[in-house]
A and B are shown apart, each in its own frame.
Chain A
Amino acid sequence: AQKITQTQPGMFVQEKEAVTLDCTYDTSDQSYGLFWYKQPSSGEMIFLIYQGSYDEQNATEGRYSLNFQKARKSANLVISASQLGDSAMYFCAMREGRGTASKLTFGTGTRLQVTL
């Protein structure tokens, strides 16, 4: 089974609108972390936001917020007030395990296109 599932291969959003990118995960661990990364066409992976499994509040970082629904095992990324520069691939990732044994597993990504 896929550990991280991103069901939207591509999304369009109009500039200044909000958009939600979906992510569901599968783990039997009690302690895990969820991440979102942005990858523009240059290829670099840009960290956006992190949510720990024990965090009670949804994480927020500027225009990014993570809608964490633990019972449903979902960690959707919400981008508010979209900008043209937000056009990129977005990857959801999960870190399981502890210490040096922990590693990130990535979803298949969602390509976001912001339009005028």
Chain B
Amino acid sequence: GAVVSQHPSRVICKSGTSVKIECRSLDFQATTMFWYRQFPKKSLMLMATSNEGSKATYEQGVEKDKFLINHASLTLSTLTVTSAHPEDSSFYICSARDMAGHNEQFFGPGTRLTVL
């Protein structure tokens, strides 16, 4: 199956700093990428959908100025958590879909963010 990578896998940062997470589709072109957040023992909550070359569509309740998403190429999307606070600590998972007829949505391995 297709491979989606995320970097970094873990990050610990101080409150007030910004953190950038990268999501790459390694062997296919992803016209659409998704960013999810998962709290411990909870389900995945969709934060935003990004389409290459256009602005991301954020889900209700997700602050777009807080979680900046850029999908500048067909293989790379980035999520920047700006001015991170402890409540932003979570597991962030990206996902990519190749719109060329595949039904599967491929997930990255996730990034565990801890804000001190």
Which of B46, B49, B107, B112 meets A45, CB within 8 Å? B107
Residues 82-115 of chain A, each 1 if its beta carbon lies under 8 Å from chain B, else 0:
0000000001000100011001111111000000
Residues 27-64 of chain B, each 1 if its beta carbon lies under 8 Å from chain A, else 0:
00001101000000011111001010000000000000
The answer to whether B106 and A47 have CB atoms under 8 Å apart is yes
Least Cβ–Cβ distance between A55 and chain B, in angstroms? 10
Interface assignment of B72: CB less than 8 Å from any CB of chain A: no
Which one of B31, B32, B43, B110 has the highest number of Cβ atoms from chain A below 10 Å of its Cβ?
Answer: B43
Residues 27-43 of chain A, each 1 if its beta carbon lies under 8 Å from chain B, else 0:
00000010101000011
Which of A44, A95, A109 meets B107, CB within 8 Å? A44
Inter-chain residue pair count (beta carbon < 8 A): 52
Range of interface residues on A (Cβ < 8 Å): 20 to 34
Which of B1, B51, B103 meets A100, CB within 8 Å? B51
Give the distance in Å from the alpha carbon of A45 to the alpha carbon of B103 in the complex.
Answer: 15
**Chain B contacts to A: CB under 8 angstroms:** 1, 31-32, 34, 42-46, 49, 51, 91, 93, 95, 99, 103-110, 112
**Chain A contacts to B: CB under 8 angstroms:** 33, 35, 37, 42-47, 50, 52, 91, 95, 99-100, 103-109
* Given A95-B105, A104-B34, A106-B44; 8 other pairs, CB 8 A cutoff: A42-B109, A45-B110, A47-B1, A47-B106, A91-B44, A103-B49, A104-B46, A108-B42
